[in-house]
Structure 1
Amino acid sequence: MIARLSGTLAETTADHAVLDVHGVGYLVQASTRTLTAIGPVGGTVTLFTEMQVREDAITLFGFGSAAERDWFRLLTSVQGVGGRVALAILSVLAPAELARAIAGGDKAMIARANGVGPKLALRIVTELKDRVAGLSLGPSGETSASPSGGASSDALAALASLGFRPGEASAAVAAAETELGPDAALDALVRLALRKAAR
Structure 2
Amino acid sequence: MIAKLTGVVDSTGTDWVVLDVGGVGYLATCSARTLARMVVGERASLVVETFVRDERIVLFGFADAGERDWFRLLTTIQGVGGRVALSLLSVLDPEQITRAIATQDKTALVRADGVGPKLALRVINELKDKVGNLSLGTPAAASAGKGAAPAPAGVNPALADAVSALVNLGYGRSEAFAAVMAASKGLGDTAPVGDLIRLGLKELSQ
What is the TM-score with the length of structure 1 in the denominator?
A: 0.72
Tell me the CA shift for residue 31 of structure 1: 0.4
What is the aligned partner in structure 1 of residue 146 from structure 2? none
- C-alpha separation in 2, matches of 1:103 and 1:71: 15
| Long gaps (5+) in structure 1 | 135-142, 146-154, 181-187
What is the aligned partner in structure 1 of residue 114 from structure 2? 115
- C-alpha separation in 2, matches of 1:51 and 1:7: 17
Secondary structure, counterpart of 1:40 in structure 2 = coil
Q: Are 2:50 and 2:57, in contact at CA under 8 Å, matched by a contact in 1?
A: yes
Tell me the CA shift for residue 95 of structure 1: 0.5
Secondary structure, counterpart of 1:102 in structure 2 = helix
Aligned AA for 2:126?
A: E
What is the aligned partner in structure 2 of residue 34 from structure 1? 34
Aligned AA for 2:6?
A: S
Identical residues among aligned pairs (%): 48
What is the TM-score with the length of structure 2 in the denominator?
A: 0.69
Could you list the structure 1 runs, at least 4 aligned residues long, displaced by more than 2 angstroms after superposition.
Answer: 159-169, 188-199
- C-alpha separation in 1, matches of 2:53 and 2:68: 19
Aligned AA for 2:30?
A: A
Equivalences for residues 142-181 of structure 1 within 5 A: 156=137, 159-160=138-139, 168=155, 175=178
- C-alpha separation in 2, matches of 1:194 and 1:34: 38
| Long gaps (5+) in structure 2 | 143-150, 164-176, 198-206
Secondary structure, counterpart of 1:81 in structure 2 = coil
RMSD over aligned Cα atoms: 3.3
Tell me the CA shift for residue 103 of structure 1: 0.7
What is the aligned partner in structure 2 of residue 3 from structure 1? 3
Q: Are 1:67 and 1:95, in contact at CA under 8 Å, matched by a contact in 2?
A: yes
Tell me the CA shift for residue 179 of structure 1: 5.5
Aligned AA for 1:102?
A: I
| Number of equivalenced pairs | 169
Larger Rg: 2
- Higher relative CO (Cα under 8 Å, sequence separation at least 6) belongs to 1
Distance 1:168 1:23, change over 3 A: farther
What is the aligned partner in structure 1 of residue 202 from structure 2? none
